[in-house]
Amino acid sequence: MVCLRPLFCLLILAATSQAGAPLVQLTTPQRTYEGRILVGDDVRCWLAESDGQVHQLLLGTVSSFKRLPGEFRPDTPAQLREKLRAEFSGKWEFELVGNQVICAGQKRAKPFAAILDSTSRAFAGYVSRRSFPVQKAEFPQATIVFPSFELFRTYAESEGVNATPILRGYYNPGTNRVVLYEGTPVTGQAETASHRTALLTRLDRSSRPGRIAAPTPFDPPQSPPTSLFHVKHSWLDRREEMVGTPSEAGSIASFGAVAGASLKDTLVHETIHQLAFNAGLHSRLGSEPRWVVEGFAMLLEAESTLRDDRGGGAGDRVDVERYTTFQNARPSRPKTMLRDIVTGDGVFLTNPLNAYAEAWATTFFLSETRSSQYADYLKRLSKRNRLDEYPADARQRDFEQSFGKDFVMLDVQLREFMDRLKVRTSGGK
């Protein structure tokens, strides 16, 4: 067999140059890929297709490759819409808004498009005014809203996502799609605090962060018959195309929302994930500190924060549910909690509700009191070599370069900041 690795290295160098990226074709036992190589080494590479889906490939599994004529060009939103039309058929509606394509049931796409449009505009304004290190999205972004949990589950399982009824929706950095469903999330289960904790833990242990959000009004219709919605090819046949086989690529962690979040909350939260990843605030390749990813999404999903309502006090921009969870956990909160979430993600497995509250509190505190340092920290993370591991000592070092080495003092200031907040509840108190 011809050694392909030196040629791959040349293609990788060409792909990272300022000139147009080469359009290449690679063949593995699973399928043939066409796109551009994002990054790689002598063992593996990441390839992006024109619709924005990213695949990790082991070079040892590649049987052939060639450079195709012309340069790589990402799809336009209209081109992505046509690809979605070819993938989905029946009673679907497709709507374009900015760089996003919404696929939903008939007469349902426009309401979702309006939410995506307002969220995208607010996101752009927020990061621009704070000089966050963002870039223009290279690819259009798709949002798929299934009319029932059954169709949602079939699709999610084709991507390797364990779609039990507790999962409300998710963003998959590999496919670059937000996926959720209308209808009742959970039936026959009382939603107690312990039950919600169990749901989050279950999600986290499958490497997919959970999400609980305060409900907001949104009136989905009754689910129409699933027989009215079709696909041109089996989703289950797509699983290897999306995440590869165990020998080719590991499964891609998704960022999900669980039952308890309203449909609108879920859509906003997952869209913020999608926008942040596509703007380069987080990387779709490699690992990201979970507190950074989830904390940023929770920070922006608060309606007052999305409006960037700087006229009021910090208490007007609080996520009341996260704030309450954080304050209630204070008596048993470990003294090392701040350092723990900065240096690792383990607490998200052992105590997910408190971990997400901690991620929100830390992000809110830093963005309100140290906005420039927080922007500097995000910029530092964006410049990391995505092929490198990100161990605890490196995570701590990056954090300390922006916020100092005194975790104890910073934690004291965090708790004092939370105590000073004048929080308005839904009752206006």
CATH number reported for the structural domain that contains residue 14 in this entry: 2.30.30.100
Q: How far is CA 27 from the centre of its chain?
A: 29
In a domain, 239, yes or no: yes
In a domain, 290, yes or no: no
Across the strands, what pairs with 104?
93
Instruction: Please give the mean pLDDT across all residues of the chain.
Output: 80
Confidence at 391, pLDDT banded by 50, 70, 90: very high
**Does residue 116 sit in the same domain as residue 185?**
yes
**Does residue 39 sit in the same domain as residue 184?**
no
Query: Residue 249 burial (CB < 10 Å; 0-12/13-18/19+)?
Result: buried
Confidence at 316, pLDDT banded by 50, 70, 90: confident
Cβ–Cβ < 8 Å for 354, 372: no
Domain end call among 39, 71, 103: 71
Mean pLDDT across 90-110: 93
Q: Look at residue 325 and tell me whether its pLDDT is greater than 90.
A: yes
Residue 8, pLDDT score: 57
**Does residue 247 sit in the same domain as residue 338?**
no
**Does residue 111 sit in the same domain as residue 155?**
yes
Domain end call among 220, 251, 284: 284
Tokens of 298: 């929770």
In a domain, 138, yes or no: yes
In a domain, 165, yes or no: yes
Q: Look at residue 201 and tell me whether its pLDDT is greater than 80.
A: no
Confidence at 209, pLDDT banded by 50, 70, 90: very low
Domain end call among 26, 41, 71: 71
Q: Look at residue 292 and tell me whether its pLDDT is greater than 80.
A: yes
**Does residue 54 sit in the same domain as residue 90?**
no
- What is the widest separation between alpha-carbon atoms in the chain? 72
Residue 166, pLDDT score: 77
The Cα angle at residue 233 between residues 147 and 178, in degrees rounded to 5: 45
In a domain, 154, yes or no: yes
**Does residue 250 sit in the same domain as residue 137?**
yes
Computed on alpha carbons and rounded to an integer, the radius of gyration of the chain in Å comes to 22
d(CA 316, CA 425): 9
> Pick from 156, 149, 226, 193: which is nearest to 325 by CA?
193
HSE-CB of 323 using CA atoms within 13 angstroms:
20
Q: What is the pLDDT of residues 238-253, one digit of tens each?
A: 333 333 322 233 334 5
**Does residue 87 sit in the same domain as residue 197?**
yes
**Does residue 54 sit in the same domain as residue 149?**
no
In a domain, 289, yes or no: no
d(CA 426, CA 429): 8
In a domain, 294, yes or no: no
Q: Which domain holds residue 188?
A: 77-284
Total number of domains constituting the chain:
3
Across the strands, what pairs with 146?
181
Confidence at 170, pLDDT banded by 50, 70, 90: very high
Residue 193, pLDDT score: 43
d(CA 199, CA 196): 5
Would the pTM of this model clear 0.85, i.e. be above it? no
Q: What is the pLDDT of residues 416-426, one digit of tens each?
A: 999 999 887 65
Question: How many angstroms separate the Cα of 398 from the Cα of each of 61, 160, 383, 390, 402?
Answer: 35, 32, 11, 10, 7
Confidence at 305, pLDDT banded by 50, 70, 90: low
Confidence at 7, pLDDT banded by 50, 70, 90: low
Confidence at 43, pLDDT banded by 50, 70, 90: confident
Tokens of 162: 């364990």
In a domain, 425, yes or no: no
Tally of helices (H runs) and strands (E runs) in the chain: 16, 13
Residue 262, pLDDT score: 81
- When mean pLDDT is compared over 59-73, 180-194, 290-304, the highest value belongs to 59-73
**Does residue 63 sit in the same domain as residue 113?**
no
**Does residue 141 sit in the same domain as residue 229?**
yes
pLDDT > 70: percent of the chain:
74
